[in-house]
Amino acid sequence: MTDSGMGMCSEKGHDHGHNVPLARNFARYDSPPCLPTDACFALEATTLQVGAWQPFGLGNALLDFLHREVVVLCMKVNNRKFTIKAEIFCGSSTINVKLRTYEVTAGTYAVEVQRRQGDSVVFMDLFRKLARFLQRDPCCHSVTTEILPELAVCPQPVAAPVSAEDLWPLIDMALRGEAMSEEFRAELASAFARAAQDGQIAVFLASRSALAAVASLLRAPRQDVSLPAAEAMRGLLRRRAPEALPAIMEVIHDTLRAASTGSAVRQQLALAMAEASHGMEALHSTAAAKEVGRQLAEASSMLGRFQNVGGFAPNMYS
């Protein structure tokens, strides 16, 4: 391995695989640089002070976090500089981050997390997840930060009632989206992903027209469009509305059958299906239960060659 480390990346908009495969890339002889003493140097506010038994263990803990907690679309590791650059999907959108580690004193390290591109709210959620992950990791014995671990709780304004008509502009733009820029379609997909988490709004996303709009985004070649759309489908499946499940599963099934569907999108849909296979007893219609069970069985068989697709119960309603 050269000083430049390991690069795993491909052209923007193409499938990067089912989470970039990660080896344990930091060896015992790898160590981070010392924290600069230059008076002009300052760490980002999003910096963790970590006590670790060995520096290479901390580096590999950072890689474990990326592998287990988010979907990595593109990554580059520099062993000499002890840095990790990654494009990841987290929450409802994609962001670009850089993790840089410095040695502060023997056994104490500063892990600077930089946002290079993407939503700041999603980035802060990622930062908090990383802090919690390192607190549980056996390679680390202390994790502190000057950033508050959680955002302050502010009074929420009373939301106005939402109707199906309120979502029509969003749905119409998504259905006509192939004529729009991919950046705009990515914003639309993120909006659908966020809406699917809201119980009041998600009810209206289960309509045929709304599902067709999400399906059109699922077919996008760029993963910053298709991944949020897959997260929207996952959010809708969590609601388990009996009358909508067959239509939702039909969209997922058709997406999995398409040869152009990227493996990272397949991974998100696999997680959605694994969650849907539990709690199916909430369905009151035996016919609907059997139909969804059949679709789960067919979809899970197509996903058999991908990892992390366990936990399905396709025969539970046969």
DSSP sequence for 168-232: HHHHHHHHTGGGS-HHHHHHHHHHHHHHTT-HHHHHHHTSHHHHHHHHHHHT-SSHHHHHHHHHH
Q: What distance in Å separates the CA atoms of residue 118 and residue 243, rounded to the nearest whole number? A: 36
Assign 93 to helix, strand or coil.
strand
- Residue 167, CA distances (Å) to 101, 201, 202, 231, 245 in order: 44, 9, 10, 18, 20
Confidence of residue 305 (pLDDT cuts 50, 70, 90): very low
**Phi, psi of 219, deg, nearest 5:** -85, 0
Q: Is the pTM of this model over 0.85?
A: no
Fold of 6-144: TATA-Binding Protein (3.30.310)
| Percentage of the chain lying above the pLDDT 90 cut | 21
Cβ–Cβ < 8 Å for 4, 56: no
Q: What is the pLDDT of residue 7?
A: 56
Q: What is the pLDDT of residue 15?
A: 44
Tens of pLDDT, residue by residue over 116-169, are: 988 888 899 899 999 999 999 998 888 887 654 444 444 555 556 666 677 788
Tens of pLDDT, residue by residue over 168-213, are: 888 888 888 767 788 888 888 888 888 887 777 777 787 888 888 8
Q: Using alpha carbons only, how large is the chain's radius of gyration in Å?
A: 22
Q: What is the DSSP letter of 79?
A: T
Residue 307: both structure tokens together: 């990892």
Tens of pLDDT, residue by residue over 37-90, are: 888 888 888 999 999 999 999 999 999 999 888 888 889 999 999 999 999 887
Burial zone of 179 (CB within 10 Å; 0-12 exposed, 13-18 middle, 19+ buried): exposed
Of the options 1.25.40, 3.30.460, 1.10.10, 1.10.3470, the CATH number for the domain spanning 164-302: 1.25.40
Does residue 281 surpass a pLDDT of 70? no
Q: Do domains 6-144 and 164-302 have the same CATH topology?
A: no
Does residue 10 surpass a pLDDT of 50? no
Which residue ranges make up each domain of the chain?
6-144, 164-302
